Amino acid sequence: MRILVLGSGGREHALVWKLRQSAHAPEIFCAPGNAGIAYEATCLSADLKNIDELLQLAHKIEPDLTVVGPELPLTLGVVDEFERRGLRIFGPSQKAAHLEASKAYAKEFMQRFQIPTAHYAICRNGAEVQQALSLFSGRIVIKADGLAAGKGVVIANSKEEASHVAAQMLNRRLVGDAGALVVLEEFLEGEELSFLVLSDGNTVLPLVPSRDHKRVGDGDTGPNTGGMGAYSDDRLLDSTMREWLMNHVAHPVVDGMKSEGVPYKGVLYIGLMMTARGPMVLEFNCRFGDPETQAVLFRMESDLVEVCDAVAQGGMHADLLRWSAQPSICVVIASGGYPGAFTSGQEISGLDAAEAVPGVKVFHAGTAHSGEKIVTSGGRVLGVTASGADLSAAAARAYEAVEKIRFEGMQYRSDIAKTAVSSRQ
């Protein structure tokens, strides 16, 4: 069996690592991959924006299954094009991926199907922004409609600031064409939760819950990032709340999409704010989260090849997913300066010593080979992942491993899962 994984981040390394454990002993290819993935799969260069190139790659490799990591090829229609040629592929169609690609579409979809979300207004120009602002009080969230690589959400403290940010988005200065439409949203207070579900278009099954840490600095300070660490623990979500989310969010999305002629197949990432008024959807992503996936797959006991196959070709069933009860944690090590400008090419040391810590796996993200050395090549560089008898044991192992890794300018948060650990002692 041959499997092609598309992507190059920590999420894709975790997918490759888990797919390799399959009883089907698959031969794995990854495009483009990274230095860590290269130890576990054959890496091939590819431009994920170029669907023709991906089709040519598939023609050469003849994969039995393709698994797509990032949103970009999904929103460009990679699934539609592969399926048109009879290739089995894990991920939603271009139309279904609209749930992530357009925040305005996602908000209107939620309104049509009474899915709980923040009050909002969609604005096309300054006049509409002014009119909408009169309906809001307190802090206001301004979101660019399109994909903006984590830079499309700004929280404003006043109407003046909101109006300024919205104008900057609408005149394309802040996030380019992604800001052609903006969504204004009421600010929600609470704890965030990443609730990921799998769907084959009909059946929906939840993955174990996880929590991301989006801000760059300890104590949730500094700018937003792609995610500086995550953990997965069953105590994030009790069974009553899980059922509530399945019945009020996950099923309505999948059933709603089906009723509108756009069946949703793949993983649906539901980003939630757990507010005093109940859970509210912040966003949908049409792909696995990064770094949530590193923590979630660490707990998966099922055969990921069988899981992805069942999603891609239909036929998911309730006993498809089995999980370890042990919590897991992923601590991201990033380049100095991230999420702003950073330098690449720094030599990384201590990787073997880090992986020698029991229960630890180091997933690579922005890494590359330079001769015999492994060097940094991106903002988020590594995801040091560990499990343990409880969250505090998992965190202790992950941080023991983190401390063995060195590169010039490296930064990481020292408080991943910390509030959860201290509140449970």
Chain residues in the site for ligand AMP (CB under 6 A) = 118, 141, 143, 153, 185, 187-188, 192, 214, 271, 273, 282-283
Question: Which among ligand GLY, ligand AMP, none contacts residue 361 (Cβ within 5 to 8 A by kind)?
Answer: none
Residue 292 CB, nearest approach to ligand GLY (Å) = 6
User: 72 φ, ψ to 5°?
Assistant: -55, -55
User: Strands (DSSP E) along 336-394, which ranges?
Assistant: 360-364, 367-370, 373-376, 380-387
How distant is the alpha carbon of residue 404 from its chain centre? 27
Is position 285 an interface residue for ligand GLY (rule: CB under 6 A)?
A: yes
Binding mask 16-55 for ligand GLY (x = CB under 6 A): ----------------------------------------
CA 80 to chain centre: 21
Q: Which does 244 bind (CB under 5 to 8 A by kind): ligand AMP, ligand GLY, none?
A: none
CB atoms within 10 A of CB 248: 16
Question: Which SS3 state, helix, strand or coil, does residue 335 take?
Answer: coil
Q: How far apart are CA 390 and CA 253, in angstroms?
A: 33
Pairing of strands 27-32, 2-7: parallel
Residues with Cβ < 8 Å from 419, sequence gap 6 or more? none
Q: How far is the CB of 283 from ligand AMP (least distance, A)?
A: 4
Least separation in angstroms between residue 369's CB and ligand AMP is 33
Rounded to a whole number of angstroms, the minimum distance from the CB of residue 412 to ligand AMP is 19
Taking CB under 6 A as the criterion, the residue among 227, 366, 379, 388 binding ligand GLY is 227
Pick what 282 binds: ligand AMP, ligand GLY, none; C-beta below 5 to 8 Å, kind-dependent. Answer: ligand AMP
Site for ligand GLY in 191-220 (CB under 6 A): 212
Whether residue 324 contacts residue 301, with contact meaning beta carbons closer than 8 Å, is answered with yes
200: partner contacted, choices ligand AMP, ligand GLY, none (Cβ within 5-8 A by kind): none
Q: For residue 47, what are its two tokens?
A: 């431009």
Return the closest-CA partner of residue 138 out of 124, 119, 162, 158: 158
The listed partner (ligand GLY, ligand AMP, none) that binds 153, CB under 5 to 8 Å by sort, is ligand AMP
Task: State in angstroms the smallest separation of the CB of 364 from ligand GLY.
Answer: 17
Q: Residue 141's binding partner, choosing from ligand AMP, ligand GLY, none, with beta-carbon cut-off 5 to 8 A by kind?
A: ligand AMP
Reduce the DSSP state of residue 189 to 3 states and report it: coil
Q: For ligand AMP, which is the closer residue by CB, 120 or 264?
A: 120
Phi, psi of 281 (to 5 degrees): -80, 125
Which residue is closest to ligand AMP by CB?
A: 283
Rama region for 408: left / alpha / beta (φ>0; ψ in -120 to 50; rest): beta
Question: What single letter denotes the amino acid at residue 306?
Answer: E
Closest CA to 281 of 96, 72, 70, 120: 120
**292 interacts with, out of ligand GLY, ligand AMP, none, CB within 5 to 8 A per kind:** ligand GLY
Q: Is the Cβ of residue 101 or residue 153 nearer to ligand AMP in the bound state?
A: 153
- Identify which of residues 136 and 195 has a Cβ nearer to ligand GLY in the complex: 195
- Examine residue 290 and tell whether it contacts ligand GLY (CB under 6 A): yes
Distance CA(33)–CA(12), nearest Å, equals: 8
Q: Which does 367 bind (CB under 5 to 8 A by kind): ligand GLY, ligand AMP, none?
A: none
Provide, rounded to whole angstroms, the least separation between the CB of residue 185 and ligand AMP. Answer: 4
The interface partner of residue 188, options being ligand AMP, ligand GLY, none and the CB cut-off 5 to 8 Å by kind, is ligand AMP
Which residue's CB is nearer to ligand AMP, number 83 or number 186?
186
Distance of CA 422 to the CA centre of its chain: 26
Residue 408 C-beta: closest distance to ligand AMP, Å: 30
For residue 105 the two structure tokens come to 């579409």
What is the C-alpha separation between 105 and 114, in angstroms, rounded?
Answer: 14
Closest approach of Cβ 102 to ligand AMP, in Å? 12
- Residue 32: count other Cβ atoms within 10 Å of its Cβ: 15
